[in-house]
Amino acid sequence: MSVRQSLLAILAQGPCYGHQLRHEFDRRTGSVWPLNVGQIYNTLERLERDGLVERGAADPHGHVYWQITDIGASEVDRWLASPVARSQTTRDELAIKLAVSATLPGADATRVIATQRAASEKHLGELTAAREAREDDSPQGLAWSLVIDSMIFTAQAELRWLDHVQTRLAQHPQHALALELASERPKRGRPARAGAAALV
């Protein structure tokens, strides 16, 4: 949803045409996430379908300006006023992967962690280097550095978690997590149940 919402929020500032939207998105996010141009037009058509934007007439240059509707504007307000709903169903790729691979009797969770750790550390190093190499006080530079900082914080948390997992696994007997496939084949309608956990 972030691309869609971002484009809509930019349109809330005034009418734009396709390539201009791409440019604006790039400026504001520090050109960190390159956006395929085609996606702009797809997204605009979907926003139009949903009544959030309107297609204006082409200007002399052939630029097709799009403008936000009232519904679209209120959608932007709603977006800005509500927090990003993390966690509820948001799946974390690494957490899933590690949880699953740690419970596979065959797979070596320690190796998975080591591989990931090396990659994450390399990534963090690249981010830090890029961060220090660039000194830029412009609004764009500020936006860029904040996005990079976000990635740095995330990478650090990832490394901390990896170490944490390794420590906890080391405290348990070999492959304490390993789970065989539930072998009992449940008869129709009366299978064995495992305890369910409620979080949210």
Partner DNA sequence: ACAGCCATGTAACTTGTTACATGATTTT
Partner DNA sequence: AAAATCATGTAACAAGTTACATGGCTGT
Residues within the interface to DNA (CB under 7 A)? 1-4, 17-20, 23, 35-39, 41-43, 45-46, 62-64, 89, 91, 186-191, 193
**What distance lies between CA 76 and its chain's CA centroid?**
19
Which one, 92 or 108, has the nearer CB to DNA?
Answer: 92
The site partner of 129 among a copy of itself, DNA, none (C-beta below 5 to 8 Å per kind) is none
Q: 135: Cβ–Cβ under 8 A, 6 or more apart, which residues?
A: 141
189: its two tokens: 């309608």
Place of tokens 């390399």: 122
* Min CB(188)–a copy of itself separation in Å: 5
CA–CA dist 104, 115 (Å, integer): 17
* Min CB(96)–DNA separation in Å: 9
Which one, 52 or 155, has the nearer CB to a copy of itself?
Answer: 155
Distances (CA, A) of 109 to 159, 160, 176: 15, 16, 11
* Min CB(77)–DNA separation in Å: 17
